[in-house]
Amino acid sequence: MKKRTIYEIKGLYRDNFRVTGYEFGKGKKSLCIVGSMRGNEVQQLYCCSLLVKKFKQLEEENRIAPGVKILIIPCCNPYSMNIQKRFWPIDNTDINRMFPGYDLGETTQRIADGVFREISEYDYGIQFTSFYMPGEFVPHVRMMNEGYSDVETAQMFGLPYIVRRAVRPYDTATLNYNWQVWDTKAFSLYSSVTTRIDDTSAGQVVLSVLRFCGNLGLVKYSDRSLRASRVIDDTELVSVRTEKSGVFVPQVKAGERTREGTILAHILNAYTGEILETLYAPVSGVVFFMHSDPHTYANTAVVKLIEE
């Protein structure tokens, strides 16, 4: 294992800002794994730390294929992570909306540029990322359905679901999109949580990465079994929206199977505890996403279901 600084900015009053990477193996740039870009992505950082530990073991046991180089960057935003602020502390900008970056631009543009110069030539890219809304997911692979990546390769993770979605205008400044522009097959992995550690879902996505590497022949890994992932377009997800604002009290969890008419959540009056609204499942299926913030606004998609 080789530890090196991917990008560094000199600090005026505190220690320098550094993006640290861990390299395994030697040869062709085969796989790059990127963890948290936002300061609240604790689970994403944790997943990468588990992979650093595992790949170190694989390297010591000579189980990384010859001519293969793997790079893991656990965190691209340690400043925000240190103060638990989701975006860049100074101007509240999102690094994952700054790619491919600009070396003479704002700070987050420079960070994106410095990181992307190091990771743009890898064959495969995996990003542990988070949703823009607070909530819990069923672990899955997410990919844009216009680009260089393909469903067949995504199946090698062996996760239950692969979600495809159309490219939106803001996607053109994300790491995943720019990886694809530079001919990297890029995939986003979603664990169940973001702001806290969940060992079960972390283990699930870490094993999926090892399975992915084993099936591609990048490492010698015994668990190369594949389960058929269900491919879903994001337009197929059934959203359940609120009509009232208030305290959000879920009655089911992500991953649970529900029947049509199942109570999904209650919206309460914050002062009186009165139930303002009860949300019911409009279809039978699996709870794919469940809102996790204790408060919610009206007309918010707080639950997403996969219809069966």
pTM across the whole model: 0.94
pLDDT for the residue 145: 79
pLDDT for the residue 224: 61
3-state secondary structure of 112: helix
Q: What is the DSSP letter of 202?
A: H
Provide CATH code, domain 237-307: 2.40.50.100
At CB < 8 A and 24+ separation, what contacts does 61-67 make? 63/219, 63/220, 63/221, 64/24, 64/25, 64/218, 64/219, 64/220, 65/25, 65/217, 65/218, 65/219, 65/220, 66/27, 67/26, 67/27, 67/28
- Per DSSP bridges, beta strands 238-241 and 301-307 are antiparallel
pLDDT for the residue 240: 98
pLDDT for the residue 17: 94
Which residues on neighbouring strands pair with residue 279, listed in sequence order?
265
Specify whether the CB–CB gap between 3 and 22 falls below 8 A. yes
pLDDT for the residue 225: 65
Per-residue pLDDT of the chain (308 residues; tens, 9 = 90+): 999 999 999 987 778 999 999 999 999 999 999 999 999 999 999 999 999 999 999 999 999 999 999 999 999 999 999 998 999 998 999 999 999 999 999 999 999 999 999 999 999 999 999 988 899 999 999 998 776 778 999 999 999 999 999 888 889 999 999 999 999 999 999 999 999 999 999 999 999 999 999 999 999 988 766 678 999 999 999 999 999 999 999 999 999 999 999 999 999 999 999 999 999 999 999 999 999 999 999 999 999 999 98
3-state secondary structure of 57: helix
CA end-to-end span of the chain: 45
CATH fold for the domain made of 2-232: Aminopeptidase (3.40.630)
Specify whether the CB–CB gap between 177 and 99 falls below 8 A. yes
Ranges in the chain annotated CATH 3.40.630.10: 2-232
